[in-house]
A and B are shown apart, each in its own frame.
Chain A
């Protein structure tokens, strides 16, 4: 079975450019998460969706960041304009939550490494 698929795996761009990261969750999963990982701050939850609806975006650093999930099989994380401090590895993860149990396992993609020059 295919896991969580992220693209691109690596992105190098210049400050001020728009960056779009893409994620295809595992089929049948109804929750999707975007995380950012840096050496300084570790793993940070940016936003998560349940049944394509954003539930908590309190981790989105600022208005330059936006995320969408137009359908159950696709999500994007966009940064516009990008800045050098956005350089990080961005992970997408998905799971199928069982109401009301909270024992779900997150399945992570391999990440998108972003470098903003």
Chain B
């Protein structure tokens, strides 16, 4: 079945440090890939997405590239801020003929300190 594996957290960084959160996937079809972010006490919200190989999704300084050859979609940011502290979820979606559903990874908690 479809699955997403992402690095265990928590990840603790100092402000302005470089961030990488690894994500790899297994899918029976040709998936779209997503990163969602969950701030404390809130629901998940889409951060960025990529729908085909070599696409780069980007938003708010975050970016991730769809790598079909390595089945990966790693999240990166050049300089994190305290406000980026949240839980980040990698996810994939595969069309199933009548609808699609998202399969999420387990989430990686990011804590950014001053």
List A residues at the B interface (Cβ < 8 Å): 4, 31, 33, 42-43, 45, 48, 50, 55-56, 91, 93, 97, 100-111
Question: In whole angstroms, what is the CA distance A43 to B36 when docked?
Answer: 12
Question: In whole angstroms, what is the CA distance A31 to B98 when docked?
Answer: 11
Residue from B42, B94, B100, B107 within 8 A of A43 (CB atoms): B107
In the complex, what residues of A have CB within 8 A of residue B99's CB? 31, 48, 50, 55, 97
A91:B43 contact, CB within 8 angstroms: yes
- How many A-B residue pairs have C-beta atoms within 8 angstroms? Tell me: 62
List B residues at the A interface (Cβ < 8 Å): 31-32, 34, 36, 41-46, 49, 51, 89, 93-95, 98-107
Question: In whole angstroms, what is the CA distance A106 to B35 when docked?
Answer: 11
Decide if the interface of chain B is mainly helix, strand, loop or mixed: strand
B95:A102 contact, CB within 8 angstroms: yes
Q: Which residue of B31, B51, B94, B98 has the most chain A CB atoms within 10 A of its CB atom?
A: B98
B100:A105 contact, CB within 8 angstroms: no
Q: Which residue of B lies closest to A33 (CB)?
A: B101
**How many Å from the CB of B42 to the closest CB on chain A?**
6
Question: In whole angstroms, what is the CA distance A43 to B42 when docked?
Answer: 14
In the complex, what residues of B have CB within 8 A of residue A107's CB? 45
Closest 7 CB pairs of A and B: A108-B43, A102-B95, A50-B99, A102-B100, A42-B106, A43-B104, A108-B44
Residue from A56, A91, A101, A105 within 8 A of B101 (CB atoms): A56
Given contact pairs A55-B98, A102-B94, A105-B34, enumerate 7 new A-B contacts (beta carbons under 8 Å).
Answer: A42-B105, A42-B107, A43-B104, A101-B95, A102-B31, A103-B93, A111-B42
